[in-house]
């Protein structure tokens, strides 16, 4: 029950203290619902106008049963579908069951209590006139055929009305009774006309609803005895259409409780008060909307119990810098490049970015990381859960970004030095068209590496390296992205290698040197192709996969293929070729013993040597640099 306790504490600490610009936390006894129609009334319940709204999410009063209804009769107490609010729905051909009787009885009970509200009484007065559908037809919101019955299909080739576009079709038909109504009530003394925004109405309903609860017992979260217990728990957690629940116990007719307890309600197993479950689920909805990382139905949300901003462990380093205001967008809206930041400069920038979080988050602050996913439409599971202190959480985030920092190239608008996001790692390992289940499972495998400081799965690192070597199987931009990710993962996995993000001329390991040779060969042939006006791939690029498997034998093929390129450069770029041949000889002479003749498969280290050598040969151009200045080797 730890997760629900932390969410309950979050609600208690954040309610009324929401950051400026963010939506407020939802009050208890309310639920989010997508509305289609809004009707305006005066204080006496007279019809004043109506309009269509484009599936706007509305926070409405709800009972415990109506908030979790699927096909149940339970009506919402104020805002609801046409089939609930309109007594004349059946008179106009509505085929769905009409629940106006239940709706009116519940609203009437509220309006007759000590917690009554003027807006609720106005709505009750209007619906009792029994002409809701008639008013909507007259205002051309709902539509009927020649027989006066509500249409299910729009006839002819003319564009269908707005209500038909908004409602969900079932077998090509749309029941206009599914249109959801919300209310505006004009009061002389109250400038707020929207019932879903009136705090006094929300409080009045919550107090009335609390007085209707009869089942009481021990709440396992707060420890309070004889508190009203929840018999049903909220849904619509990740989005308004989400039917999955985190807590569900509706097997009273099955075998869940038989032989273990004296009743079949399940309360003897574990009781949670209605107030706690409402506040906890409302806090979770609020957090997911504000700061969750989403991948389909998978949600990863990280928060401080006190509501303070925290870095997202499922994001890359660029997002961390942006969220800490370390990198601002230029006037053109494009992000600045980080390609020149390496080593100490990157470490200083990362510490400065995290210092902003450390200034707000106390060392003993409670931080929670939770992953949610659902395998079926009705059941949701917590796939990952960790509670950490503020200092511990920030230290692990910093360690992840430091250990896996490498120059990344995600396109013109996203070049930075840092760690990739788990989602990008999954695509680099298995391709952009990977199955959603594989993507989710990969992200779940990476979360402990970030949050707990565990080592990366070796098979994942090898998969990214192997796929990056298959250069001809990817588009150029995708391969560039995969190359940076592969280098970052290999560097972080083999931390004992203490690899730097710049070219290490003193490193004499076989794999690193072979990577440098491949970059030099590609640079020579690439320059020759440019001089000759050709655009084909270089031999080094074509044979990269084979080179990774058999470097010594493949290098002979690559070196022979350089002969025409060298002849062209010798005639037109003599100084450039001289510099490249000198660099080639320096690298070859750095091999130790018989390493140059060793034809064993290369590890991912050769990608580090290749990438660093290529960066040195092709440094990023600056605004003041001329083409010759941008290529010192020439």
Q: What's the CA gap between 121 and 43, in Å, rounded?
A: 8
pLDDT band at 333 (very low <50, low <70, confident <90, very high): very low
Q: Write the DSSP symbol of residue 187.
A: B
CA distance 366 to 457: 28
Q: For the chain, give the percent of residues with pLDDT over 70.
A: 91
* Contacting residues for 531 by C-beta, under 8 A, at least 6 apart: 568, 569, 572, 573
The 3-state secondary structure of 248-283, one letter per residue: CCCCCCCCCCCCCCCCCCCCCCCCCEHHHHHHHHHH
Q: What is the pLDDT of residue 424?
A: 95
252: confidence class by pLDDT, cuts 50, 70, 90: low
Return d(Cα 548, Cα 514) in angstroms, integer.
9
pLDDT tens per residue, range 49-74: 999 998 788 999 999 888 877 666 88
Q: Note the pLDDT of residue 548.
A: 96
Tokens of 199: 């705090």
Residue 49 near residue 176, CB atoms below 8 Å: no
User: CB neighbours of 495 closer than 8 A, spacing ≥ 6?
Assistant: 403
Kindly report which listed range (24-28, 38-42, 413-417) carries the lowest average pLDDT score: 413-417
Higher-pLDDT residue of 36 and 633 is 36
Give the C-alpha separation, 307 to 97, whole Å: 44
300: pLDDT strictly greater than 80: yes
Is residue 382 over pLDDT 70? yes
Contact 283, 24 (CB under 8 A): no
Backbone φ, ψ for residue 204 (5° rounding): -60, -45
Contact (CB, 8 A) for 180 and 79: yes
Measured distance CA(64)–CA(226) in Å, rounded: 18
In order, the DSSP letters of 594-620 are TGGG--SPP-THHHHHHHHHHHHHSPP
Q: How large is the average pLDDT for residues 101-109?
A: 95
The DSSP secondary-structure symbol of 627 reads: T
How far lies 89's CA from each of 94, 194, 248, 364, 495, in Å?
A: 5, 24, 33, 58, 70
The predicted-structure confidence for 451-493, as pLDDT tens digits, reads as follows 999 999 999 999 999 999 999 889 999 999 999 999 999 999 9
Q: Is the distance from CB of 379 to CB of 372 less than 8 angstroms?
A: no
Q: What is the pLDDT of residues 542-568, one digit of tens each?
A: 999 999 999 999 999 999 999 999 999
Check residue 321 and give its pLDDT: 82
pLDDT-wise least confident of 16-30, 262-276, 528-542, 565-579 = 262-276
* CA–CA separation, 134 and 111 (whole Å): 25
Backbone angles phi, psi at 382, to 5 degrees: -90, 105
Query: Any idea which residue has 């790692």 for tokens?
Result: 425
Residue whose C-alpha is closest to residue 380's, from 254, 233, 265: 233
Phi, psi torsion values for 473, nearest 5 degrees:
-90, 5
Q: What does the pLDDT read at residue 625?
A: 39
pLDDT tier for residue 633 given thresholds of 50, 70 and 90 = very low
Residue 598 to residue 510: CA distance in whole angstroms: 9
Measured between alpha carbons, how far is 595 from 581 in angstroms, rounded to an integer?
A: 20
Residue 329, pLDDT score: 37
Alpha-carbon distance 613 to 326, whole Å? 29
For residues 478 and 475, what is the distance between their CA atoms, to the nearest angstrom? 5
Q: Which three-class secondary structure state does DSSP give residue 30?
A: strand
What is the three-state SS of 543-584? Answer: CHHHHHHCHHHHHHHHHHHCHHHHHHHHHHCHHHHHHHHHHH
Instruction: Tell me the average pLDDT across 89-106.
Output: 92
Contacting residues for 619 by C-beta, under 8 A, at least 6 apart: 630, 631, 632
Banded model confidence at residue 296, pLDDT cuts 50, 70, 90: confident
- Kindly state the average pLDDT of the residues 579-592: 95
Q: Residue 3: is its pLDDT beyond 90?
A: yes
User: For residues 422 and 232, which has the higher predicted lDDT (pLDDT)?
Assistant: 422
Q: Is the pLDDT of residue 604 over 70?
A: yes
Mean pLDDT of the chain: 88
569 Rama class: left (phi>0) / alpha (psi -120 to 50) / beta: alpha
Report how far apart the first and last C-alpha atoms of the chain are (Å, whole number). 66
Please state, in angstroms and rounded to a whole number, the distance separating the CA atoms of residues 376 and 569: 63
pLDDT of residue 572: 92
Cβ–Cβ < 8 Å for 353, 284: no
- Position 71 scores a pLDDT of 66
| Mean pLDDT value of segment 246-259 | 62
As a whole number of angstroms, the distance between CA 195 and CA 38 comes to 11
What pLDDT score was predicted for residue 168? 85
Q: 238-252, 267-281, 308-322 — which is least confidently predicted?
A: 238-252
pLDDT value of position 64: 86
Structure tokens at 376: 């079926």
pLDDT of the residue at 496: 78
pLDDT for the residue 628:
37
Burial (CB count <10 Å: 0-12, 13-18, 19+), residue 100: buried
CB 303 within 8 A of CB 10: yes
H/E element, 402: helix 390-403
Which of 148-162, 265-279, 333-347 tops mean pLDDT? Answer: 148-162
Taking the C-alpha atoms of residue 477 and residue 409, their distance in angstroms, rounded to an integer, is 8
Per-residue pLDDT for 632 more than 80?
no
Q: Which residues contact 225 (CB under 8 A, 6 or more apart)?
A: 217, 218, 219
521: helix, coil or strand? helix
How far is residue 432 from each of residues 382, 410, 474, measured CA to CA in Å?
A: 26, 14, 10
Confidence bin at 267 (pLDDT 50/70/90): low
Nearest to 118 by CA among 59, 186, 61: 186
Give the phi and the psi of residue 379 in degrees, each rounded to 5: -125, 135
pTM confidence score: 0.84
Average pLDDT of 76-87?
A: 95
| Residues 259-268: contacts with CB under 8 Å, at least 24 apart | 265/215, 265/231, 267/215, 267/217, 267/229
């Amino acid at each position: 029950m730890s997760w629900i306790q932390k969410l309950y504490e979050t609600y208690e600490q954040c309610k009324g203290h929401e950051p400026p610009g963010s939506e407020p936390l939802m009050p208890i006894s309310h639920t989010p619902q997508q509305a289609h129609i809004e009707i305006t009334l005066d204080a006496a319940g007279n019809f004043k106008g109506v309009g269509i709204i484009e599936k706007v999410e509305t926070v409405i009063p709800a009972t415990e049963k109506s908030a979790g209804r699927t096909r149940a009769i339970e009506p919402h107490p104020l805002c609801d579908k046409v089939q609930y609010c309109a007594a004349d729905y059946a008179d106009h051909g509505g085929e769905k069951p009409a629940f106006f009787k239940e709706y009116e009885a519940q609203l009437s009970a509220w309006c007759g209590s000590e917690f009554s509200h003027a807006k609720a009484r106005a709505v009750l007065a209007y619906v009792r006139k029994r002409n809701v559908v008639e008013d909507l037809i007259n205002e051309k919101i709902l539509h009927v055929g020649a027989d006066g019955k509500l249409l299910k299909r729009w006839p002819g080739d003319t564009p269908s009305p707005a209500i038909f576009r908004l409602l969900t079709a079932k077998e090509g038909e749309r029941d206009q009774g599914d249109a959801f109504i919300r209310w505006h009530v004009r009061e002389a003394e109250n400038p707020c006309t929207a019932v879903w925004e009136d705090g006094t109405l929300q409080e009045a309903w919550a107090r009335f609803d609390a007085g209707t609860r009869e089942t009481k017992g021990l709440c396992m979260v707060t420890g309070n005895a004889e508190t009203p217990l929840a018999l049903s728990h909220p849904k619509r957690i990740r989005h308004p259409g989400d039917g999955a629940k985190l807590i569900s116990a509706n097997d009273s007719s099955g075998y869940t409780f038989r032989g273990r307890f004296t009743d079949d309600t399940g309360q003897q197993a574990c009781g949670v008060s209605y107030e706690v479950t409402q506040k906890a689920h409302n806090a979770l909805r609020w957090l997911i909307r504000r700061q969750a990382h989403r991948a389909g139905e998978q949600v990863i949300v990280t928060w401080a119990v006190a509501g303070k901003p925290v870095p997202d462990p499922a994001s890359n380093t660029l997002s961390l810098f942006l969220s800490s205001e370390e990198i601002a967008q230029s006037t053109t809206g494009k992000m600045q490049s980080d390609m020149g930041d390496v080593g100490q400069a990157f470490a200083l920038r990362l510490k400065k970015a995290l210092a902003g979080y450390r200034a707000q988050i106390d060392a003993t602050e409670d931080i929670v990381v939770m992953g949610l996913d659902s395998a079926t439409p009705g059941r949701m599971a917590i796939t990952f859960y960790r509670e950490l202190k503020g200092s511990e959480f920030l230290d692990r985030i910093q360690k992840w970004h430091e250990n896996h920092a490498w120059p990344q190239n995600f396109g013109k608008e996203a070049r930075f030095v840092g760690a990739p996001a788990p989602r990008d790692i999954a695509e680099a390992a298995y391709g952009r068209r990977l199955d959603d289940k594989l993507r989710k499972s990969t992200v779940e495998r990476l979360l402990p590496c970030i949050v707990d400081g565990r080592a990366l799965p070796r098979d994942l690192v090898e998969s990214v390296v192997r796929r990056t070597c298959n250069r001809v199987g990817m588009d150029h931009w995708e391969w560039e992205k995969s190359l940076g990710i592969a280098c970052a993962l290999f560097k972080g996995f083999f931390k004992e290698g203490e690899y730097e993000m710049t070219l290490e001329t003193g490193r004499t390991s076989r794999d690193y040197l072979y990577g440098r040779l491949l970059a030099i060969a590609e640079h020579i042939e690439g320059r020759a192709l440019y001089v000759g006006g050709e655009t084909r791939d270089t031999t080094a690029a074509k044979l990269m996969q084979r080179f990774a498997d058999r470097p010594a034998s493949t290098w002979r093929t690559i070196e022979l293929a350089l002969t025409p390129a060298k002849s062209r450069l010798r005639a037109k770029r003599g100084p450039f070729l001289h510099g490249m041949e000198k660099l080639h000889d320096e690298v070859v002479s750095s091999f130790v013993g018989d390493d140059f003749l060793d034809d064993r498969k290369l590890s991912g280290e050769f990608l580090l040597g290749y990438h660093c050598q290529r960066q040195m040969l092709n440094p990023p151009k600056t605004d003041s640099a001329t083409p010759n200045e941008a290529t010192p080797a020439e």
